[in-house]
Amino acid sequence: MKNPTPLIHFSFKAIPAFLLLALFSACAHYSLMNTQEDLKTNVYQFNKRFSGKMMDLSAGYVLMDQRKDFLIKSNEIKEKVTFFDNSLLDIQYFNGNQPVKKTTEGAEKEFNKAVATMRYQISILPSNQLKTITFDQTWVLDDEWWQVDPDLDVFLK
């Protein structure tokens, strides 16, 4: 009869490797979930501040090279636009320009760009007619911080 000791010795050596593999897998999933949560938080906070006409605070979410233009155009929006409601309709994820497949939990793998489809209900002076606009906001992960590349022209049409 053979001695079972070598098999037992091998299985004890394999346990740390399996634990390490599980730990790395869990960390990668946790990092992906954090990235998605950070994105949703920034989309929500930016749009909440923007629709509240807190342009100086919302500018903190704008890409650095777009901030000056954002602050200039946002003054006109502040004067002419009345905001009633906004909502996030959808988010599409990208790694560079390549789409990332979505699952029920969000993105299937790492991503560094997103397109948030927003719906706003607004009124633009001199009219007092309620208008619903739907548009895309492009968000980019820059130094682990989600920033928007805003298109303010949709509010001034």
pLDDT digits (tens, 9 = 90+) for 16-66: 554 444 434 444 444 557 889 999 999 999 999 999 999 999 999 999 999
The pLDDT of residue 126 is above 60: yes
What is the predicted pLDDT for the residue at 58?
97
Question: What total number of domains does the chain contain?
Answer: 1
Q: Report DSSP letters for 75-97, one per residue.
A: HHHHHHEEEEEEEEEEEEEEETT
Decide if 157 contacts 132 (C-beta within 8 A).
Answer: no
26 versus 110: which is more confidently predicted?
110
Percent of all residues in the chain with a pLDDT value above 90, rounded to a whole number: 68
The pLDDT of residue 156 is above 90: no
pTM of whole model > 0.85?
no
Taking the C-alpha atoms of residue 122 and residue 40, their distance in angstroms, rounded to an integer, is 22
2 versus 90: which is more confidently predicted?
90
The CATH number that applies at residue 59 is: 3.10.450.100
What is the predicted pLDDT for the residue at 157?
78
The pLDDT of residue 1 is above 80: no
The pLDDT of residue 119 is above 80: yes
Helix, strand, coil share of the chain (percent; to 5)? 50, 35, 20
Q: Which domain holds residue 128?
A: 5-155
